[in-house]
Amino acid sequence: MTSRDFEVYVDTGICKTADAGAIERAVRLALDSDPPKKSAEISVALLDDPAITALNLKFLDVPGPTDVLAFSLGDRAELIGDIYVGFEQAARQAAELGVSLQEELVRLAIHGALHVLGYDHPADDARGDSPMFVLQERLVREAMGAEA
């Protein structure tokens, strides 16, 4: 199966500058990298700081905004996942990294999709060298190259 057989929903909410199609394509690239056996349904919602802060506190007991939260339901055969991207935090990170907001939104959507697929990374400085991050950055380059 390929991601064409799966459902991907993107809600850009109040982030009017986000390209929902590019975010959907990015999630599909992640799904194609390690596809579930039967089905997948993934939603991506872009949230402002207050909304992502509330989720971060409720589910992780961490105060303050975060860049991405991912929740996986089901199993590797039938995957259901929700990805929440903090677009205001993404904008701050994009400025720090010197990349466009769209690239950072793509990166975070891919990051969340990989978590939904079961990937994980260390929480320390070694995370950038982890297999998940290496795959993530390859997919980001592919996704952004496709948009050029």
What is the value of pTM for the model shown? 0.93
Residues in the chain with pLDDT values less than 50: 148
Q: Which CATH architecture has domain 3-147?
A: 3-Layer(aba) Sandwich (3.40)
Q: Residue 77's pLDDT is what? A: 75
Q: Which of 108, 107, 84, 118 is nearest to 9 (CA)?
A: 84
Query: For every residue of the chain, which 3-state class applies, written as one string?
Result: CCHHHCEEEEECCCCCCCCHHHHHHHHHHHHHHCCCCCEEEEEEEEECHHHHHHHHHHHHCCCCCCCEEEEEEECCCEEEEEEEEEHHHHHHHHHHHCCCHHHHHHHHHHHHHHHHCCCCCCCCHHHHHCHHHHHHHHHHHHHHHHHC
**Bridge partners of 73?**
80
Q: Residue 2's pLDDT is what? A: 63
What residue spans define the domains of the chain?
3-147
Q: Residue 74's pLDDT is what? A: 76
